[in-house]
Amino acid sequence: MKKNIENSQAVNEQEVLDNLYRQFGEKVFTEMQNRDESRPAEEFFNGLMFSSLEFCVKISDSIKRLEKQNAPVEPPVAPVNNIPDLPKPQDIGATQVIIPTEENPRKKCPRCGASCNEDMRFCTSCGYKWPTATNESPVITMFAPKAADEEKALFCTNCGSKLDPDSIFCVGCGQRVE
């Protein structure tokens, strides 16, 4: 008899949890649909997160009660073909924000708009080649500092990388060397 009561409580608690998940999803969807376009996206999403905390606490409490009853916690199952398409973040004014730091300076690709590390030679999204000071001339020359008895070391005049004597292209910047 005690086992049946515990089983019944677990089923009821799972129903409570499923209902909380449904209510939470409806709340998020409704707020997305009724979004005031004049409000900045960041302000909107911060408000959405804050208003969602109540549901997160209730869901967490419900999961803890199920775990105390040693009942398996079943994840919510979305109804098939019953969920309307939500707008993409870009469609409602949200943009990806990458904050440059001194350790990680960023630059924006002029072709596709992707944010790339400042030291990259090519855009990681579209392959755009960033212009360099020597892009006017596709061929660069090597120079060898004079050393008395040492083997002559060759360096790229574009980036300063050390070159092997038989190098055709610089491994540091990809430029052709003479």
Cβ contact 115:125 at 8 Å: no
Pairing of strands 176-177, 106-108: unpaired
Residue 38 has what pLDDT?
A: 83
Residue 178 has what pLDDT?
A: 72
Cβ contact 140:176 at 8 Å: yes
- Tell the burial category of 173 from Cβ atoms under 10 Å away from its Cβ (0-12, 13-18, 19+): middle
Please compute, for residue 165, the number of CA atoms within 13 A of its CA located in the half-sphere on the CB side.
3
pLDDT one-digit tens code per residue, 53-80: 888 888 888 888 878 877 666 666 655 5
Higher pLDDT, 71 or 35: 35
Pairing of strands 139-140, 142-143: unpaired
20 pLDDT more than 50: yes
Residue 151 has what pLDDT?
A: 56
Residue 140 has what pLDDT?
A: 47
Taking the complete model, does pTM exceed 0.75, yes or no? no
- Alpha helix ranges (H) inside the chain: 2-33, 41-68
Residue 1 has what pLDDT?
A: 46
pLDDT-above-70 percentage for the chain? 63
pLDDT one-digit tens code per residue, 120-176: 787 777 778 878 755 444 444 444 444 454 556 778 888 887 877 777 777 677 778
